[in-house]
């Protein structure tokens, strides 16, 4: 059983690793006393100002209805109606880790003291996050501009005991789910509904989980590249430090160094490097392609970590000043989602080309489709088809969502980011990428078993790790179980100890 650690939120220092721990490992959270002090001060300022002025979303309608003034008696109902009307999502619901990430990031934004919410809303949100209740959040409905309105409204609906939520594996009405966890519905105060849903927490939650997942898979992908490199008798001459360093790309240098370290004790590579002039690009250009993807991942992580420690709702409150700003617009993280999608898709394309080489006897020098008794047995013929299908799927998914904008709210919101769709597409691309890497690892291990040469220690250890879950293919068997077993190794982090730190 996983031991639940406690992560203290202060609004300023949340990391993607923290999000992973809360979203996937169910670590608990609490809020720092200093952050709660800021929340209380901001609430006091709001309550004072709203008695004197008309404030958007506090005593007015929303979006294009901003000129409709709301009476003091209806201010609370206004907030509840907002959650009800904006809970308009459709489609398969987001899985638990994404919903938990969204709620965590929303809390971290609201505690910075510029949103005017109450301390009680924060405490109730933390209680929900630390419970077994997971809001039912359909995946489609946000255009990623005036905040992730629909998905966050569905989470807020659970807070007030409406809509539906999961408790364990079962879906219940939210009031019942809360009761099962010993929680009760929360009654919203002034501005709390609009503060909760005006933000980029859905885009950022999806990205936080998937960028961390991509880093994990990327390191496994380097191990897969080593297996293929050894099996295809590559030359490491193109990875020489001086040749790499004269191009000033940091990711390229880091990947080349990792490849040199993982291949340095390989008798096969040492021998091949004495006479072979050059390799095909899918071997020779591993540092250049993987390095560019690594740089993209690092940039994306930097942008998202800034975002999850930002205030993104509207209106914003700073002492006696209240302004309607545009921090809810998802463009910074939306562009990152599209950028990541392109990078991960292209990396999968390179990996598929090595998979094709491994199965082609004219290119590999190995038995056709990596099985000795071929003809009667098809061996690993079809995993290459699967990789090709996944690459094609990723190519269709990586068209940039941010290239489109469809105005909403009677043209008040006349440019939107479509960032949530971009992040949703990236989620599927990352999962497909895991499968593509799993196939290369599986076929790389088989190729090493068939190659009549001595390989380096990293390749041998990786092959042995795969063999601990998947036996050598001698006769045809259903391959999908082999792929799933290797993917389990990737997700467990089993290959990380074989890959040098960057």
DSSP 20-81: HHHHTT--EEEE-HHHHHHHHHHHHHHHHHTTTS--TTTSB-SGGGTT-B--GGGHHHHHHH
DSSP tag of 474 = S
Structure confidence at residue 55 (pLDDT): 74
Supply φ then ψ for residue 80, to 5 degrees: -65, -40
Whose CA is closest to 155, among 175, 128, 180? 128
Retrieve residue 446's tokens.
């088989």
Whose CA is closest to 402, among 413, 417, 415, 414? 417
Residues in the chain: 502
**Could you tell me the pTM of the whole model?**
0.94
How many CB atoms neighbour CB 495 within 10 A? 25
The crossing angle, in degrees rounded to 10, of helices 149-159 and 96-110 is 90
Retrieve residue 313's tokens.
């709702």
Q: Please give the Cα distance from 27 to 423 (Å, whole number).
A: 24
Retrieve residue 396's tokens.
């269709």
Supply φ then ψ for residue 346, to 5 degrees: -65, -35
Residue with tokens 């993917």: 487
How many CB atoms neighbour CB 241 within 10 A? 11
Q: How far, CA to CA in Å, does 428 sit from each of 9, 205, 267?
A: 30, 15, 39
Domains in the chain and their CATH numbers? 6-199 (1.10.275.10), 207-313+342-498 (1.20.200.10)
CA angle (380 as vertex; 377, 385 as ends), nearest 5: 120
Asked if 484 contacts 431 with a C-beta cutoff of 8 angstroms, the reply is no
**Residue 56 designated active-site:** yes
Q: Please give the Cα distance from 203 to 425 (Å, whole number).
A: 11
Structure confidence at residue 10 (pLDDT): 97
Encode burial over 147-164: b for 16+ CB neighbours within 10 A, e otherwise.
bbbbbbbbbbbbbbbbbb
Asked if 87 contacts 153 with a C-beta cutoff of 8 angstroms, the reply is yes
Asked if 53 contacts 129 with a C-beta cutoff of 8 angstroms, the reply is no
Q: How far, CA to CA in Å, does 70 sit from each of 43, 196, 205?
A: 19, 19, 33
Structure confidence at residue 501 (pLDDT): 85
Q: Write out residues in the chain with pLDDT < 70, as ranges.
A: 1-4, 61-67
Dihedral angle of Cα 469, 363, 346, 286, to the nearest 10 degrees: 80
Q: Please give the Cα distance from 242 to 498 (Å, whole number).
A: 25
Residue with tokens 């496994």: 220
Beta partners for 28? 6
DSSP 98-156: HHHHHHHHHHHHHTTSSS---HHHHHHHHHHHTSSEEE--EEE---SBSBSHHHHHHHH
Q: Which of 56, 98, 114, 290 is catalytic?
A: 56
How many CB atoms neighbour CB 222 within 10 A? 22
Count helices and strands in the chain by DSSP H and E runs? 20, 9
């Amino acid at each position: 059983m996983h031991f639940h650690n406690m992560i203290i939120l202060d609004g300023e220092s949340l990391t993607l690793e923290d999000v992973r721990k809360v979203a996937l490992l169910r670590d608990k959270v609490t809020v720092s006393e200093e952050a709660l002090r800021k929340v209380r001060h901001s609430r006091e300022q709001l309550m004072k100002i709203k008695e004197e002025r008309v404030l958007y979303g506090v005593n007015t309608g929303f979006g294009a209805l901003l000129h409709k003034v709301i009476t003091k008696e209806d201010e609370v109902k206004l907030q509840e109606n907002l959650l009800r009307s904006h809970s308009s999502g459709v489609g398969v619901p987001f899985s638990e880790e994404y919903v938990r990430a969204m709620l965590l990031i929303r809390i971290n934004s609201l505690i910075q003291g510029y949103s005017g919410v109450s301390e009680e809303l924060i405490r109730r949100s933390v209680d929900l996050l630390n419970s077994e209740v997971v809001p039912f959040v359909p995946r489609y409905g946000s255009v990623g501009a005036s905040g992730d309105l629909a998905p966050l409204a569905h989470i807020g609906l659970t807070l007030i005991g409406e809509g539906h939520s999961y408790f364990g594996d079962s879906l219940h009405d939210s009031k019942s789910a809360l009761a099962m966890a010993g929680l009760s519905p929360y009654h919203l105060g002034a501005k709390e509904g609009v503060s909760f849903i005006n933000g980029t927490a859905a885009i950022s939650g999806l990205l936080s989980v998937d960028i961390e997942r991509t880093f994990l898979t990327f390191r496994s992908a380097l191990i897969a590249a080593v297996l293929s490199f050894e099996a295809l008798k590559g030359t490491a001459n193109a990875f020489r430090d001086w040749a790499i360093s004269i191009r000033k790309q940091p990711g390229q240098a880091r990947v080349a160094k990792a490849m040199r370290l993982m291949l340095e004790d390989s008798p096969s590579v040492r021998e091949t490097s004495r006479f072979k002039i050059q390799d095909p690009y899918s071997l020779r250009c591993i540092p250049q392609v993987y390095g560019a993807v690594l740089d993209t991942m690092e940039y994306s992580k930097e942008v998202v970590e800034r975002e999850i420690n930002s205030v993104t709702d509207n209106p914003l409150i700073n002492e006696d000043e209240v302004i309607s700003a545009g921090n809810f617009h998802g463009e910074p993280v939306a562009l990152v989602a599209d950028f990541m999608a392109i990078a991960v898709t292209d990396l999968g394309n390179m990996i598929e080309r090595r998979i094709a080489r491994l199965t082609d006897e004219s290119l590999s020098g190995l038995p056709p489709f990596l099985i000795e008794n071929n003809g009667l047995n098809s061996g690993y013929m079809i995993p290459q088809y699967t990789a090709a299908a996944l690459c094609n799927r990723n190519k269709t998914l990586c068209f940039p969502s941010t290239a489109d904008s469809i105005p909403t709210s009677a043209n008040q919101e006349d440019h939107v980011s479509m960032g949530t769709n971009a992040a949703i597409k990236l989620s599927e691309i990352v999962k497909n990428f895991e499968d593509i890497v799993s196939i290369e690892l599986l076929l790389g291990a088989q190729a090493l078993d068939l190659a009549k040469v001595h390989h380096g220690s990293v390749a041998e250890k990786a092959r042995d790790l795969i063999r601990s879950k998947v036996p050598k293919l001698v006769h045809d068997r259903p391959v999908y179980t082999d792929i799933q077993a290797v993917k389990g190794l990737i997700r467990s982090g089993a290959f990380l100890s074989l890959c040098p730190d960057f």
